[in-house]
């Protein structure tokens, strides 16, 4: 029988058993109660406990068995597994119904089960992080067995060359060089351009919204800025490639400069637009939570409003603002679609933003979308790059969280 059919059969039988458990359990509990015994729980709760004791262990056995079957290649015929889990279900049913006794705390038992289920759900997020770490590190380690870590970190030539042939058993892939410096140079160049756009605009918008704007403007401007963050990145990528890049080329041409259509400026600017709301909304919150007494003190000393903002409010809010900028930076580093669509494919170590250059994320996408063997050094290099990306963004996020925490403790604000 097909797996699908088996699964369907399992679910149907389990559902039926569950229904039987519910009604038998409830009938028995009602009978016991009608006989005059004082029970610890309502008949429905006994019924639900019977259902849980029927389905819970059976599902657990089924899931464990299929996991063993799939992962460890254990030789269990699916039919046996089905039979085993159904037997467990039947046993659970018997136990559940037998437990319908006046002295059994059905409600507390249900409570315990639910607590376990909720804990299990909460564990999933931990599993996800470990899954990411495990998958990236294990594949990256395989890459570093083929190519040295030192070469990867310091090499200035990225040329996967014929490494895919080596994986197919032809050639030795010796021409391949995996020096990631040009990729990181490109990534940081584009990120820097993005921050040059986003930090001033985001910060100044935040200053305007929190210090000057009337309430009406605020209620409109904030969601409008949020729209910028809600636009899918693939759309930004198209905008950067089709609209902004030609404009940049034309402007550069006007000044007599030669710009590539895959220049770093176009994706940089568009990425900057994208992260404006990240920076403005966090800065806005931070500036808003600078205590008013500081503003009043400054104004009382005869400072103008502008001087108060520049010399008192901004310095006080600085940790939060830096934290916002770091968050924006980590967004920009990990951003993929804009650079895939608008930046170049050629690893290029240059300081000229008008040239084409590629980024870490572009190379990850490029090396995983081809038809290469999964085992090839080029494919595995994506995981090595991913590992570095993970470490860098994680560090930025942690630093950012620490800074905002310091700010929060200094001014005792709770809403950040």
Partner 1 sequence: MSHSFDEISQQLKRRHRKSARLKWISMGALGLAGLFLVLFFADMLSKGLPAFQQAYINTEVRYTEEASRDGRLAFEEELLPLISRTVVRVIPLQLRNNPEMIGTSEQRWMLATSEVDQYLKGHRNRLSDEEKAEIDERVAAGQVDLRFNKTFFGSGDSKIAENAGILSAVVGTIMTMIVTLLISFPIGVMTAIYLEEFAPDNRFTQLIEININNLAAIPSILFGLLGLAIFINFFGVPRSSPLAGGMTLALMTLPVIIIATRTALRSVPDSIRHAAFGVGCSRWQVVRDHVLPLAMPGIMTGSIIGLAQAMGETAPLIIVGMVAFIPDVSASFTQAATVMPAQIFTWSGEPEQAFVEKTAGGILVLLSVLISLNAFAVVLRKKFERRW
Helix (H, G, I), strand (E, B) or coil at 263: strand
Which residues are CB-contacts of 290 (< 8 A; sequence separation ≥ 6)? 313, 316, 317, 411
Which tokens go with 355? 């040239």
153 binds partner 1 (CB under 8 A): no
Torsion sign, CA atoms 78, 82, 85, 91: negative
Positions in 389-408 near partner 1 (CB under 8 A):
389-390, 393-394, 397-398, 401
The full 3-state SS of 201-216, as one line of letters, equals: HHHHHHHHHHHHCCHH
Nearer to partner 1, 86 or 344 (CB): 344
The full 3-state SS of 112-175, as one line of letters, equals: HHHHHHHHHHHHHHHHHHHHHHHHHHHHHHHHHHHCCHHHHHHCCCEECCCHHHHHCCCCCCCC
58, 82, 97, 341: which one binds partner 1 (CB under 8 A): 341
DSSP 356: B
32, 90, 162, 201: which one binds partner 1 (CB under 8 A): 201
DSSP 178: E
38, 224, 300, 351: which one binds partner 1 (CB under 8 A): 224
Least distance (Å) from partner 1 to the CB of residue 69? 11
Question: Is there a contact between 200 and 187 (Cβ–Cβ < 8 Å)?
Answer: no
Stretch that binds partner 1, among 11-19, 87-95, 163-171, 365-373 (CB under 8 A): 365-373
Nearer to partner 1, 37 or 231 (CB): 231
8, 9, 63, 111: which one binds partner 1 (CB under 8 A): 111
121 binds partner 1 (CB under 8 A): yes
19, 114, 196, 251: which one binds partner 1 (CB under 8 A): 114
205 binds partner 1 (CB under 8 A): yes
Least distance (Å) from partner 1 to the CB of residue 353? 19
Length of the chain: 416
Q: How far apart are CA 233 and CA 270, in angstroms?
A: 10
125 binds partner 1 (CB under 8 A): yes
DSSP 39: -
Nearer to partner 1, 101 or 142 (CB): 142
Identify the residue whose tokens are 């063997």: 373
Stretch that binds partner 1, among 177-185, 221-229, 285-293, 349-357 (CB under 8 A): 221-229
Nearer to partner 1, 31 or 305 (CB): 305
Nearer to partner 1, 122 or 351 (CB): 122
300 binds partner 1 (CB under 8 A): no
335 binds partner 1 (CB under 8 A): yes
For partner 1 (CB under 8 A), the number of binding residues is 90
CA proximity to 285, closest of 391, 127, 414, 146? 414
Nearer to partner 1, 57 or 334 (CB): 334
Q: Determine phi and psi for 367, rounding to 5 degrees.
A: -80, -10
167, 276, 290, 322: which one binds partner 1 (CB under 8 A): 276
Which tokens go with 189? 């160049």
227, 256, 300, 351: which one binds partner 1 (CB under 8 A): 227
Q: How far apart are CA 133 and CA 386, in angstroms?
A: 10
Positions in 230-249 near partner 1 (CB under 8 A):
230-235, 237-239, 241-243
Nearer to partner 1, 172 or 307 (CB): 307
Q: How far apart are CA 214 and CA 244, in angstroms?
A: 33
324 binds partner 1 (CB under 8 A): no
């Amino acid at each position: 029988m097909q797996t699908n059919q088996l699964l369907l059969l399992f679910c149907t039988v389990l559902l039926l058993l569950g229904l039987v458990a519910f009604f038998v359990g409830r009938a028995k509990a009602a009978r016991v109660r009608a006989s005059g015994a004082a029970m610890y729980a309502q008949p429905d709760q006994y019924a639900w406990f019977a259902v849980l004791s029927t389905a819970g262990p059976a599902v657990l056995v089924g899931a464990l068995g299929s996991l063993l079957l799939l992962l460890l290649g254990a030789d269990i015929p699916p039919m046996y597994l089905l039979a085993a889990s159904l037997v467990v279900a039947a046993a659970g049913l018997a136990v559940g119904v037998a437990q319908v006794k006046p002295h059994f705390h059905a409600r507390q038992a249900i409570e315990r089960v639910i607590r376990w289920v909720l804990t299990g759900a909460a564990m999933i997020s931990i599993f996800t992080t470990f899954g990411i770490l495990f998958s990236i590190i294990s594949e990256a380690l395989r890459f570093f067995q083929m190519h040295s870590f030192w070469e990867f970190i310091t090499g200035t030539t990225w040329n996967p060359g014929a490494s895919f042939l080596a994986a197919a058993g032809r050639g030795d892939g010796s021409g391949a060089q995996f020096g990631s410096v040009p990729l990181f140079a490109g990534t940081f160049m584009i990120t820097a351009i993005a921050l040059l756009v986003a930090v001033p605009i985001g910060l100044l918008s935040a200053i305007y919204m929190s210090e000057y704007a009337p309430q009406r403007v605020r209620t409109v401007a904030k969601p409008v800025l949020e729209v910028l963050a809600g636009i899918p990145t693939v759309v930004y990528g198209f905008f950067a490639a089709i609209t902004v890049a030609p404009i940049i080329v034309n402007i550069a041409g006007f000044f007599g400069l030669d710009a590539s259509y895959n220049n770093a400026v176009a994706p940089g600017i568009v990425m900057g637009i994208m992260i404006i709301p990240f920076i403005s909304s966090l800065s806005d919150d931070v500036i808003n939570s600078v205590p008013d007494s500081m503003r009043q003190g400054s104004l009382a000393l005869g400072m103008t409003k502008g001087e108060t903002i520049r010399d008192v409010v901004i310095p006080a809010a600085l940790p939060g603002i830096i934290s916002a900028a770091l968050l924006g930076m980590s967004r920009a580093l990990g951003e993929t679609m804009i650079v895939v669509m608008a930046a170049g494919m050629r690893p290029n170590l240059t300081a000229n933003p008008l040239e084409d250059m590629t980024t870490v994320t572009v190379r990850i996408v490029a090396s995983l979308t081809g038809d290469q063997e999964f085992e090839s050094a080029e494919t595995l290099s994506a995981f090595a790059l991913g590992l570095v990306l993970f470490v860098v963004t994680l560090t930025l996020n942690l630093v950012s969280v620490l800074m905002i925490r310091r700010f929060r403790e200094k001014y005792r604000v709770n809403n950040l």
